[in-house]
Chain A
Amino acid sequence: GAVVSQHPSRVICKSGTSVKIECRSLDFQATTMFWYRQFPKQSLMLMATSNEGSKATYEQGVEKDKFLINHASLTLSTLTVTSAHPEDSSFYICSARGRLAGGSAGSTDTQYFGPGTRLTVL
């Protein structure tokens, strides 16, 4: 079945550095990517939605200059946490929506989720 991968799975960085998280769709072309984060003991919350080749749409309260999202191709989206601080420590997960390769003309889009990336900022 379709797979979405994230890299790295875990990252520890110093405060003030930038961290890039990659999200790849392996068996299909992802026309839309979603980025979520989950703080400890809190619900998974949507950060932004990005369509291939266009700027991401950020949810209210998410700083677009701090969380840079690039969706340059149909199989790759990246989330860069710039000038990370300890309060950015969280679990980040992406999901990709698209149509499976070889699908019929009438097939509908399906969404698949990555395994997540645990970011710890010291």
Chain B
Amino acid sequence: KQEVTQIPAALSVPEGENLVLNCSFTDSAIYNLQWFRQDPGKGLTSLLLIQSSQREQTSGRLNASLDKSSGRSTLYIAASQPGDSATYLCAVRGNQFYFGTGTSLTVIP
């Protein structure tokens, strides 16, 4: 069974710092991997989608990488802002979705 792990569980950084969130998964047979953010009380907002054949995707200050063979993905956030404070989830798609437990990010002004 696929297991998705996110490290760290919580992270607090001062504004302006660059940071990396990690996601690892045990079964490399995936169709794609997605990164989401979730604000308190709200649904998921999709950030980046990486197909299994791709190695990275970029959107603005966000860059996500995928190393399928090693079962790892990273989400890089450049020049963090207080508005980036949220919970970040990664999910891998095989025959079903498997979600990580999330990283709670706090960016301190």
Instruction: Pick from B34, B44, B93: contact of A46, CB below 8 A.
Output: B44
Is the pair A46, B96 in contact by a Cβ cutoff of 8 Å? no
For the complex formed, measure the closest distance between the CB of A36 and the CB atoms of chain B, giving whole angstroms.
Answer: 7
Chain B contacts for A43, CB-based, 8 A: 34, 46, 49
| B76 adjacent to chain A (CB < 8 Å) | no
Give the dominant DSSP class at B's interface. strand
Q: Which of B36, B43, B46, B91 has the most CB of A within 10 A?
A: B43
Bound-state CA distance A35–B7 (Å) is: 26
- In the complex, whether A113 has a CB less than 8 A from a CB of chain B is yes
Q: Are A116 and B97 in contact, CB atoms less than 8 angstroms apart? A: yes
Query: Size class of A's contact patch?
Result: 10 to 19
Other than the known A34-B43, A46-B44, A113-B91, what 9 A-B pairs have Cβ atoms closer than 8 Å? A9-B96, A36-B43, A41-B51, A42-B49, A43-B49, A45-B46, A46-B45, A49-B43, A113-B99
CA distance A42 to B34 in the complex (A): 10
Q: Which residues of A contact B44 (CB under 8 A)?
A: 34, 36, 44, 46, 95
Closest B residue to A108 by CB, please name it: B40
A residues with CB within 8 A of B: 9, 34, 36, 38, 41-46, 49, 91, 93, 95, 111, 113-116
Interfacial chain B residues near A115, Cβ < 8 Å? 96-97
Chain B residues, Cβ within 8 Å of A38: 93
Chain B residues whose C-beta falls within 8 Å of the C-beta of A91 in the assembled complex: 93, 97
- Note all chain A residues with C-beta closer than 8 A to B38: 111
